[in-house]
Each structure stands twice: as C-alpha cells, then as structure tokens.
A and B are shown apart, each in its own frame.
Chain A
Amino acid sequence: MNEELYGEAIKDLAAREPVVLDGADASATLDNPLCGDRVTLDVRMEGGRVAAIGHRVKGCLLCKAAATLAAGTAPGLGAEGAARLLDQVSNMLKTGAEPALPALAAFIPVRPHKSRHACVLLPFKALAKVLAAPIP
C-alpha cells in the first residue's frame, strides 16, 4: 500500500511544529504547481551563513518532513553549502547515492516513487534559492 513511505522517522519530522522567524534578512517561496505544495523559508544571516531559519509549509507529509530537515540542517550553511545539499538529496533520490546525512536516510523509501521526488526536493530547492539570492 506504499506504507513504506510513511515510516515513523518521516512522520516524526512532519509532525514537528515549524519554526517562526521574526526579522528575517531574506525569504524565498517555492511552489510545486503540479501538486500544490508551497514552502516558504525565512533566514537571518551572519557572515554569509545562516544564523537562524524559519519555515512555513503547505504540502503533503513528505514535503513537511523534508522542510523540517532542511531547516534543521541550514544553520551554518552558505550558498555553496545549500546548493551542495540540494545536489546530495537529489542524487540520493534519483541515482541511489548514499545519504549525505544520517537523517536523510528516512527518505530512502521515496527513491522508487519518482512522482514524489519533487515533494522532498522542494524545501531543499527553497533553501538553495534563498541563499543564492543577494542578501540585502
């Protein structure tokens, strides 16, 4: 029944309350127009790296879980690190690469479900987007 997608690790990540960040230096919102998922990330920066992050998600359980993980991984990352993280998650899903972080292993069951890769990747794309833009 595809239950393997909804293991306890993913459900636990998805159930965590999103962090609200006031006074963000930059924000990025990304939509997946096909399924309607929407992720918004707010970041506060110090020395070109994420000092604090908040996130808002309207989406499926996989997207919510991925957003929690992306937000949890973001502190200390700069633009290059966020782009590398996106590549790592993408490669883990699409080419079977080993998870770059232990927590990413929760998403291994998503590999064979190509139509759900976008749900997992959306928050990581949003993170790469917000850090790639010049911070005002």
Chain B
Amino acid sequence: MSQTIREAFPALARPGFHYLDSAAMAQIPGLVSEAVTHHNRTARSNVRRGLHEMAQRADAAYDGARAAVGRFLGAPAEEVVFTAGCTLALNMAAWGLGRNLGPGDEVVVSRLEHHSACLPWMALAKERGFALRWLGVTPDGRLDLDSLGTVVTPRCKAVAVTHASNVTGAVSDLPRLAEAAHGVGAKLVVDGAQMVPHGRVDPRALGADLYAFAGHKAYGPTGIGVLWGRAEILDGMAPLVVGGGMVGTVEDGDFTWGEPPHRFEAGTPPVAQAVGLAAALNWMADLDWPAVRQQEAALAWHLLDGLRSMDGVRVIGPLGLEARVPVVSFTVAGCHPHDLSHLLAGRGVAVRGGAHCARPLMSALGLEEGTLRASLAPYSDRSDVDALLAGLAEAVKVLR
C-alpha cells in the first residue's frame, strides 16, 4: 500500500534515499507540483481585482482552493484564511486575540510548543504586560493535563497548545483542553502543523477556536498556511497585516476592515500555493486512511522497538502507539545529534538533529544537546526504518 503512495512522490524514486524528515518538510506528490504549474500556465493573475479571462480563472481557482481546505476541515470556506505559512497564522492568532490584553490577564502556553506557537505569545506578553503561564509536560513528553486546574485560572484569556508535538509525537487531548479553556471564557488556539499530515482534522468538533497548519508539512507547496477560525471568533479579530484587499472603506483619516476571511489576507495572496495545497489535501482525502494509519503505526512500532534494543538510546516521548503521530525523537549516550544526523546523511538517511525549535521542551526534559528525530509519513516504508536503524548502529561506532 505504501508503495503505491510512494510512487506518487518523484523525489522518493532515488534508490538508497530514505527520507525521515517529514516533520520538517514533507515531500510533494507529482500531481501537486503539476497543479501549481498548470495554474501558473493557465490562470496566473491576481485575485478579486480583475475582470479578464485569466483573472476569472484565478478567482475560481483560489475560491476553489479555499473550499477544498474547508472540506478537509469540515468547515465553511469563509472560516478558512490563507496565510504565508503556519508561523504567520499563529502570529495572526496571537495578535488577533491578544493585542488588547494587559496586566491582570493571563495566557497559557505549553512547554510542548514549537517556537512559532509560543514566541508570538511571549512577545505579546512582553509588550502588553499580561502574564504568561506555562502548562508543563510529563516525563514521557505529553501535556501535563493534571495541572490544568491550577494553570488555567479565571484570568486566562487564551490557551495555546499543539495538536501533535513536533518532538515527542504526542497528540494532545483537545476536547479536555477546550473544556478547561472555555470553562473560564478563554479561547483555544491550536498548532496543527504536525497533525494535519496524518489525516483529516475537524477543529470545530475538537473544541478549537483557532487552528493553524502549514502547507509544506501536508504534502503541499512552501509559502502557504492556513488559519481556520470559528466565524464568530474571526469576526471579532483584528488583522495583523493591513493593505490591499482587506479593507471596507478608506478615508483620509480612517479605514474599516473588510469581512473575514479577506480581512486577514492583505496584499496579493499566495494563489498558486493555495491551489497546490488544495491539490495536496484532495490527494490526502482520497487515501485509505485506516490502512495508512495501520501502516504508520506498524512502522512507528518497528522504529521504537529497534531503538529500544540499542545500547544508550533514550526515546523522548511516548513509548507506545496510543495518541501519538509517527514522529520519534531520541538521544544516544555519548553521541551528539548533529554528528549522528550528519553520519546518517552520508548513508542516504535524512533525519533531523537539534532542538527542533522547541527550547522550552528541551529545558523541561533536560535535553541541552537536543535530540535526533525521525518523522514518518504515509510514503514511508520498512526499508526507511531499517536503513535508519542500521545506519545508527554504524554511526555510533564511528563516534565512540
């Protein structure tokens, strides 16, 4: 089954190449690249501005892309905002909800967050003077939900969490987090960058108020991301960026915002990238997800099992398969992750070594040198994991 999926990805055709860095950037199906190329050849025009034929095609393609993302999320198209990426989407969420907060208010972020999810709130807290409260993690790299009752107080105005950790792979219990946040009148902001690549998500059903993800991790192009928001939340939010295409009226002394989602899409939007993202999500939607998940789980178990059998290896994150995506981080005693990842690269095994833009988590778990991370996708197969395990054993011999 994974062989059929793998064949859709031209970059994976190279013999001896084992791509296990999908959490940083997923590979792109050939049909997605072709969709972007086709758009640029047949409909390259600005959107919502022109009346000529190409402009009409561009409008149809862009509107169609928004509808496709909406279908993937089980949401109306009007709740889908295209952004330049997940980082921008998360900044837009923070500034949209937090720009009017101040002393006496609190925002909760978790230690499991990517810098793109926690730094916007840290920057905003510094500027606005509200308090930032950290939701901790358990030793196996999950959110410490037992502390929710003390961390989320009646002063809390927003809770920002990841749906799936880019380090430990742990999947967050969003309904429980939503209950805690909504119980005190706070909004739940979710970073879905690592969850969307592993199947359809319904953020509204999970209790999220705002949900962000990136195109390049979901088999789409770079330079495209999505901020989904409940209509009533988006309607009350101020845009982070202003400019063409997002206004209602403009007078000498003042201007008004347009309606969502255009209010949040100032300037020329990433039209071709949105078309590519839609093609990627449509491709995903057609996959046999029970079979894909079974395959991902079998490979993740094979990897975890192999790592556990190696001397000096410590898996950072859940050791089982429950509530986790196939993102596996680990350390090897006496070997720095960068040295290991470089040696593995020499064997055609692409993994990531470092702090993974997650310093708060690294500090919480005492991982000053970071971790090595192998991240799987539906196109991964057993030969990828076997190559990693064999290469790791050899790399350790070189370094020790």
Binding site for B on A (CB under 8 A): 1-3, 5-6, 11, 34-37, 58-62, 113, 116, 119
Say yes or no: A61 contacts B347, CB within 8 Å: no
* Complex CA distance for A62 and B341, rounded to whole angstroms: 13
* Complex CA distance for A58 and B370, rounded to whole angstroms: 10
**Listed residue (A1, A61, A62) with the most chain B CB atoms within 10 angstroms of its CB:** A1
Give, as a whole number of angstroms, the nearest-CB distance from B349 to chain A. 10
| CB-CB nearest 4 A-B residue pairs | A2-B346, A1-B346, A60-B336, A60-B338
* Complex CA distance for A62 and B342, rounded to whole angstroms: 11
Say yes or no: A113 contacts B346, CB within 8 Å: no
Say yes or no: A34 contacts B398, CB within 8 Å: no
Say yes or no: A6 contacts B398, CB within 8 Å: yes
Number of residues from B at the complex interface, CB < 8 A: 21
Question: Of the candidates B368, B369, B370, B395, which one forms a contact with A1 in the assembled complex, judged by CB atoms under 8 Å apart?
Answer: B395
Say yes or no: B394 contacts A35, CB within 8 Å: no
* Complex CA distance for A72 and B388, rounded to whole angstroms: 37
Q: Which residue of A lies closest to B337 (CB)?
A: A60
A-B contact count (CB 8 A): 48
Say yes or no: A2 contacts B342, CB within 8 Å: yes
B399 at interface by CB-CB < 8 Å:
yes
Which residues of chain B are near A37, meaning CB under 8 Å? 338
Which residues of chain A are near B362, meaning CB under 8 Å? 36
Q: Which residue of A lies closest to B368 (CB)?
A: A58
Which residues of chain A are near B346, meaning CB under 8 Å? 1-3
Which residues of chain A are near B342, meaning CB under 8 Å? 2, 5, 113, 116
Given A3-B346, A35-B370, 9 more A-B residue pairs with CB atoms under 8 Å apart are: A1-B347, A2-B342, A2-B346, A6-B399, A35-B353, A58-B369, A60-B337, A60-B338, A61-B336
Give, as a whole number of angstroms, the nearest-CB distance from A86 to chain B. 21
Give, as a whole number of angstroms, the nearest-CB distance from A68 to chain B. 15
Say yes or no: B339 contacts A36, CB within 8 Å: no
Say yes or no: B354 contacts A35, CB within 8 Å: yes
Per-position 1/0 for B368-381, Cβ under 8 A of A: 11100000000000
Which residues of chain A are near B347, meaning CB under 8 Å? 1
Which residues of chain B are near A119, meaning CB under 8 Å? 338
Which residues of chain B are near A60, meaning CB under 8 Å? 336-339
* Complex CA distance for A11 and B397, rounded to whole angstroms: 12
* Complex CA distance for A23 and B345, rounded to whole angstroms: 43
Which residues of chain B are near A2, meaning CB under 8 Å? 342-343, 345-346
B188 at interface by CB-CB < 8 Å:
no
* Complex CA distance for A61 and B391, rounded to whole angstroms: 18
Q: Which residue of A lies closest to B359 (CB)?
A: A36
Which residues of chain A are near B336, meaning CB under 8 Å? 59-61
What are 9 sample pairs from A and B whose C-beta atoms fall under 8 A apart? A1-B391, A1-B394, A1-B395, A2-B343, A6-B398, A35-B353, A36-B370, A59-B369, A116-B338
Which residues of chain B are near A58, meaning CB under 8 Å? 368-369
Say yes or no: B354 contacts A34, CB within 8 Å: yes
* Complex CA distance for A81 and B369, rounded to whole angstroms: 31
B325 at interface by CB-CB < 8 Å:
no
B355 at interface by CB-CB < 8 Å:
yes
Which residues of chain B are near A113, meaning CB under 8 Å? 342
* Complex CA distance for A37 and B337, rounded to whole angstroms: 11
Question: Of the candidates A3, A59, A62, A116, which one forms a contact with B398 in the assembled complex, judged by CB atoms under 8 Å apart?
Answer: A3
Q: Which residue of A lies closest to B362 (CB)?
A: A36
* Complex CA distance for A6 and B125, rounded to whole angstroms: 45
Q: Which residue of B lies closest to A58 (CB)?
A: B368
Question: Of the candidates A3, A6, A11, A36, which one forms a contact with B369 in the assembled complex, judged by CB atoms under 8 Å apart?
Answer: A36
Per-position 1/0 for B83-127, Cβ under 8 A of A: 000000000000000000000000000000000000000000000
Give, as a whole number of angstroms, the nearest-CB distance from A58 to chain B. 5
* Complex CA distance for A107 and B338, rounded to whole angstroms: 16
Say yes or no: B338 contacts A1, CB within 8 Å: no
Give, as a whole number of angstroms, the nearest-CB distance from B13 to chain A. 22
Which residues of chain A are near B394, meaning CB under 8 Å? 1
Which residues of chain B are near A34, meaning CB under 8 Å? 354
* Complex CA distance for A62 and B370, rounded to whole angstroms: 16
Which residues of chain A are near B354, meaning CB under 8 Å? 34-36
A1-B347, A1-B394, A36-B354 known; A6-B339 Cβ under 8 A: yes
Tell me which residues from 379 to 393 in chain B have a Cβ below 8 Å from any Cβ of chain A.
391
Which residues of chain B are near A36, meaning CB under 8 Å? 354-355, 362, 368-370
* Complex CA distance for A60 and B369, rounded to whole angstroms: 8
Give, as a whole number of angstroms, the nearest-CB distance from A3 to chain B. 5
